[in-house]
Amino acid sequence: MRNVPIVLLHGTNAAPWTMEPFRRFFQEQGFDCHTPTYRHHDLPDGPERTAALTGVSISDYVEDIAGFLATLDKPPIVIGHSLGGLIAQLLNGRGLIAAGVLINSSIINGAVPTTEMERALGKMFMSAGTFWEMVPGQDFDLLATYGLNTMPSAQQHEICDRLQTESGQVLFELFFWMYDIHQATKVDFEQARAPLLFLSGSEDKVVPPTTARSMADRYGAQATFLQFGGRCHYMQLEEAWEEIAGASLEWIDSLPRL
């Protein structure tokens, strides 16, 4: 499989830097690695970025990455974190990837919350007004509670300070897929044939293991599920992230040669 390129996809409010440890790791293992970003995510926070991201959909991001994949010689292995994991699943539903490694993947259409904290997070968005018309930034307290909860405070602040604004429409499609008339997060399971590795942090409060496993179960034998104890939503940036990268490499090397 090492002759297959790797494409690394980041989550909401983020940029390729959140995938940098994995990029370095797999580059050193002999893979040709790519870290594209979604439209307008190269813009700094400010009026231009806000205007550009207003109303942008997950479907737009999928088209961005599908266009990038078309420039490669062969379908890649996609390693996606959070939203990037969801996009990897959507790309799989279009037959565009060779395999997917999903780090605490955001939920797809049909997946429902399995914990009180997940439901509470949804209620917070419900009380935020018409957030889908906005371009929200990151709230530190919310991020520290849900996504960075196992990290030292200094690292929590460092990561939060680097995250930027995101399309509210994207957040709406993530949390309220049942009300999305375009069904942006619906996977075509008929076409989704590539093997998938679901990596779940036991302390992830955004997509907890019970929810991640229920999502993986929809793929049957096509999906492998691994849980890592004491890890949060951003576990690719935590201390000892090499354990997760190593498990991913072992799984990739176990796949039939393409």
Judged by DSSP in three states, 81 sits in strand
Overall pTM > 0.85: yes
Residue 203 clears pLDDT 90, i.e. is over it: yes
Which residues are CB-contacts of 7 (< 8 A; sequence separation ≥ 6)? Answer: 33, 34, 35, 36, 65, 68, 69, 72, 76, 77, 78, 79
Residue 244 φ/ψ region, left for φ over 0, alpha for ψ in the -120 to 50 degree band, beta for the rest? alpha
pLDDT digits (tens, 9 = 90+) for 159-183: 999 999 999 999 999 999 999 999 9
Structural tokens at position 187: 């996977």
Q: Among candidates 59, 19, 61, which has minimal Cα distance to 39? A: 61
Residue 258 is predicted with a pLDDT of: 57
Burial readout 220-249 (b: 16 or more C-beta within 10 A, e: otherwise): eeebbbbebeebbbbbbbbeebeebbebbb
Take residue 181 and report the two structure tokens written for it.
């008339």
Place of tokens 């961005």: 64
**Domains annotated on the chain, with CATH:** 6-254 (3.40.50.1820)
User: Measured on CA atoms in the order 185, 188, 194, 200, is the torsion positive or negative?
Assistant: positive
Q: Note the pLDDT tens digit of each residue in 72-128.
A: 999 999 999 999 999 999 999 999 999 999 999 999 999 999 999 999 999 999 898
